[in-house]
Amino acid sequence: MSDLRAGVRVSAVSIVWTVSASAASIGLGIASGSLVLVAFGAVGVFDAIGSAVLVAHFRHALRHDAISVSRERIAQLVVATGLLIVGSATVVAAVTKLVRHDHARASVAGLVVSGASIVVLAVLAAMKRRIGLRVPSRALRADGGLSAVGAGTAFAALVGAALKQAAGWWWMDPGAACVIALGAIGLAVVTLRTRDEAPQ
């Protein structure tokens, strides 16, 4: 039961962080023309949705003293769907920006949000994976992967901005967003493939 309560806590913290950071990132990304910031915000939105589903899932398990297999599968489906939507949309937008040679403008506030998110999301990803192994919950581990994708996107935003300033590599923003998006799609496929297997 303590592992389920830990699952509720880490998911609740994830909701609070990702909602606030995502709203800021999407607004700043649109204002500066940074695809990687918008992608980071979108990943956070689906991370928050997945975490909300997991909170309900684990609270149900606490009330019934058992993990519901059907609710676990629903949670996995929600997380995987979020990964697929964000990954696919980001790939299309990234390729479009590369073809059009669109340049992102520097955003100090965006870089601050990205820097903080690297740390917070990396910690949340590790905690979700550890707790997900103990529960056990593939859905929570997949949500940890979604948090890791968010941390990677935030890191890409920082590196892309630094390389654009230092070397004029304008293509780093959409290029990094595309690579991370492909990783999100791959994680979604793995999550869907394991959805019908017994929890472990």
Residue 177, pLDDT above cutoff 60 = yes
Q: Which of 29-38, 59-68, 81-90, 119-128 has the highest mean pLDDT?
A: 119-128
| pLDDT tens per residue, range 98-138 | 888 876 676 788 889 989 999 999 999 999 999 999 999 99
| pLDDT tens per residue, range 6-56 | 999 999 999 999 999 999 999 988 888 877 788 788 888 888 999 999 999
**Token pair of 15 as six digits:** 């909701």
CA distance readout (Å), 50 to 33, 94, 124: 27, 24, 13
Per-residue pLDDT, 199: 58
d(CA 33, CA 36): 9
**pTM metric for this prediction:** 0.86
**Token pair of 7 as six digits:** 């699952």
Contact 117, 151 (CB under 8 A): yes
DSSP code per residue over 166-185: HH--TTHHHHHHHHHHHHHH
The whole-chain average pLDDT of the chain stands at 87
Rounded average pLDDT over 52-77: 92
Per-residue pLDDT, 47: 87
Q: Nearest to residue 151, comparing CAs of 44, 16, 13, 52?
A: 44
Per-residue pLDDT, 132: 95
Q: Nearest to residue 101, comparing CAs of 171, 12, 195, 166?
A: 171
Per-residue pLDDT, 200: 59
Residue 90's pLDDT band, with cuts at 50, 70 and 90, is: confident
